[in-house]
Amino acid sequence: MIKVCKFGGTSMADGNTIRRVAEILRADPARRYVVVSAPGKRFGGDVKVTDLLYAAHTELERTGACGESFRKACERFRSIVSELGLAFEIEELLAETEREIERERSVDFTASRGEYLAARIMAAFLEIPFIDARDVVKFRADGSLDGERTFTLTANALRGKRYAVVSGFYGEGADGKVRTFSRGGSDVSGAIVARAAGADLYENWTDVSGFLAADPRIVDDPERITALSYKELRELSYMGANVLHSDSIFPVREAEIPVLIKNTFRPEDEGTYILPTSKYHFTGKTVTGIAGKQNFTVIHIEKSLMNAEVGFAHRVLGVLLEHNISFEHMPSGIDTMSFVIDSECLKNGVLESLCEDIRKTVRPDGFRVFDDIALIAVVGHGMSRNVGTSAKLFNAIAKAGVNVRMIDQGSSELNIIVGVDNDQYSRTLRAAYEAFFLE
Ligand code: ASP
């Protein structure tokens, strides 16, 4: 059994949290490969090391040298080493890092040093080998991850090492320079290592005990999701549940390796499993989770005999393409078609010119635009097995006195999406939660 464990920034925040990490690792010998983030916030109002390093790069651009922010980042590493009581040449390493940052002058290189230093310290504390992500994680010239090369190099580096620490968040570009993933990218690094190690489980350790069935800022004390499928994760994370983003685990998703979200500060909590469909068993629940987002615009087009007009949708989509606008959903009827678009993309006159071009191109009989729409997604494989899911949902929403502006159900029967006015968002979410979880 091989487990790969990724620890996020709050788990790496200071000496105490790093000791917890070490305890977690020692508690299970299958936890063999460790991927770490840079130290995160220790308390509300604290600054993450990665943010200090981005600020350090800005200072470097301005003055030509590492300044105050870099010193603050160094201070974080000094105190971690002293809190751990480690005999570790931190001063030498920090001085060398400063020289390299000033020589490289790249924002990615500077930002990556948080993970690099954290992994070096972690490896020294655990007394196990360190693997520099730069040597094993490779990007192509277009910036995408070179998966095959990365998995092979990582697997080779792990071979013969019973335990190892790998730095998260970065790798090396085709030009030989350090490149980072986007923010939060250590999740991808962990998934890469899990895939390369042929892990049985990818444990993602964070500061929450997994996914909740609804947003706790809206629903009181929502249930914890014990298991969800990759597909459900995609639906829920796309709609705003942000513990772990589905895109960030593509290396393990492709290899069908299960993920377990765990809480470093409550390791006894069960956590949430994310499972490939082949390993996912129906939990008996109709709905796995509910999530939502606000601020969408709906463009509604009507034209009689639309169903018989070949190429109608093609022409409308062509206009969206010309304006470089992506849509989230496209509910349609025989003579109607609607596009749900993130309002953010339609600012500064974009909406007006898009509408004008659609009108000119397809000459609709009716054309309306609604904004301030919120979407609520009720997600679960279970709904394909249970009769009456939508009846239950719409009954609950009607009882809550909410007017439904739009309905969309994918043919996969994995979700039902309901559009309501923004100001009815919380009420709808609570009504949906109560209907499926507090029956
Ligand atoms: N340290 C990086 C960030 O703050 C990457 C990560 O933590 O995953 O975005």
361 part of a folded domain: yes
Kindly report the pTM of this predicted structure: 0.89
pLDDT score of 243: 81
Considering the domain architecture, whether residues 293 and 203 belong to the same structural domain is answered as no
DSSP 379: E
340 part of a folded domain: yes
Residue 435 has pLDDT above 80, yes or no: yes
Q: Band the pLDDT of 333: cuts 50, 70, 90.
A: confident
242 part of a folded domain: no
Backbone angles phi, psi at 229, to 5 degrees: -90, 165
Considering the domain architecture, whether residues 79 and 177 belong to the same structural domain is answered as yes
Considering the domain architecture, whether residues 147 and 13 belong to the same structural domain is answered as yes
Residue 247 has pLDDT above 90, yes or no: no
Q: Band the pLDDT of 427: cuts 50, 70, 90.
A: very high
Residue 411 has pLDDT above 90, yes or no: no
Distance CA 354, CA 371 (A): 15
pLDDT score of 332: 87
pLDDT score of 241: 75
Backbone angles phi, psi at 68, to 5 degrees: -55, -45
C-alpha of residue 199 to centroid of ligand 1, in Å? 23
Considering the domain architecture, whether residues 144 and 13 belong to the same structural domain is answered as yes
Q: Tell me the average pLDDT across 180-203.
A: 96
Q: Tell me the average pLDDT across 301-326.
A: 93
Considering the domain architecture, whether residues 199 and 301 belong to the same structural domain is answered as no
Q: Tell me the average pLDDT across 279-308.
A: 88
Q: Residue 359 belongs to what domain range?
A: 289-437
Pocket of ligand 1 from Cβ distances under 6 Å? 8-9, 37-38, 48, 50, 114, 168-169, 183-186
Counting the structural domains of the chain, the total is: 2
Under 8 Å CB-to-CB from 118, ≥6 apart: which residues?
12, 36, 37, 38, 39, 49, 77, 167
Helix (H, G, I), strand (E, B) or coil at 413: coil
Structure tokens at 84: 């751990």
| Mutation choice for ligand 1 from 7, 48, 179, 249, CB with most ligand atoms inside 8 A | 48
Distance CA 273, CA 228 (A): 6
pLDDT tens digits, one per residue of 12-26:
999 999 999 999 999
Distance CA 313, CA 322 (A): 14
283 part of a folded domain: no
Distance CA 384, CA 300 (A): 29
Q: Band the pLDDT of 29: cuts 50, 70, 90.
A: very high
What CATH number did the domain enclosing 96 receive?
A: 3.40.1160.10
222 part of a folded domain: no
* Least confident stretch, 221-230, 304-313, 334-343, 397-406: 304-313
390 touches 308 (CB < 8 A): no
Q: Tell me the average pLDDT across 204-226.
A: 93
Considering the domain architecture, whether residues 194 and 104 belong to the same structural domain is answered as yes
Last residue of one domain, picked from the residues 207, 233, 266: 207
Distance CA 164, CA 186 (A): 16
Q: What is the distance, to the nearest Å, from the Cα of residue 152 to the centroid of all Cα atoms in its chain?
A: 25
Residue 322 has pLDDT above 80, yes or no: yes
pLDDT tens digits, one per residue of 88-139:
999 999 999 999 999 999 999 999 999 999 999 999 999 999 999 999 999 9
Q: Tell me the average pLDDT across 201-224.
A: 94
Atom of ligand 1 nearest to the CA of 48: 4
pLDDT score of 349: 93
Distance CA 267, CA 265 (A): 6
Last residue of one domain, picked from the residues 163, 179, 207: 207
**Protein residue with its CA nearest to atom 5 in ligand 1:** 184
Considering the domain architecture, whether residues 199 and 308 belong to the same structural domain is answered as no
Considering the domain architecture, whether residues 200 and 77 belong to the same structural domain is answered as yes
Considering the domain architecture, whether residues 176 and 48 belong to the same structural domain is answered as yes
Tokens 């994918």 map to which residue? 410
What CATH number did the domain enclosing 347 receive?
A: 3.30.2130.10
17 touches 10 (CB < 8 A): yes
pLDDT tens digits, one per residue of 262-289:
999 999 999 999 998 777 776 778 899 9
Print burial letters for 341-356: b (CB count within 10 Å at least 16), e (below 16).
bebeebeeeebeebbe
Residue 7 has pLDDT above 90, yes or no: yes
C-alpha of residue 7 to centroid of ligand 1, in Å? 11
Residue 2 has pLDDT above 90, yes or no: yes
Distance CA 244, CA 279 (A): 19
Considering the domain architecture, whether residues 203 and 323 belong to the same structural domain is answered as no
pLDDT score of 289: 94
217 part of a folded domain: no
11 part of a folded domain: yes
36 part of a folded domain: yes
Considering the domain architecture, whether residues 13 and 161 belong to the same structural domain is answered as yes
For residue 432, CA distances in Å to 22, 145, 394 come to 41, 39, 8
C-alpha of residue 87 to centroid of ligand 1, in Å? 27
**Protein residue with its CA nearest to atom 8 in ligand 1:** 184
Which amino acid type is present at position 177?
Answer: K
Sign of CA dihedral 264, 268, 271, 276: positive
Last residue of one domain, picked from the residues 160, 187, 207: 207
C-alpha of residue 231 to centroid of ligand 1, in Å? 24
pLDDT score of 226: 93
Q: Band the pLDDT of 314: cuts 50, 70, 90.
A: very high
Helix (H, G, I), strand (E, B) or coil at 339: strand
C-alpha of residue 73 to centroid of ligand 1, in Å? 14
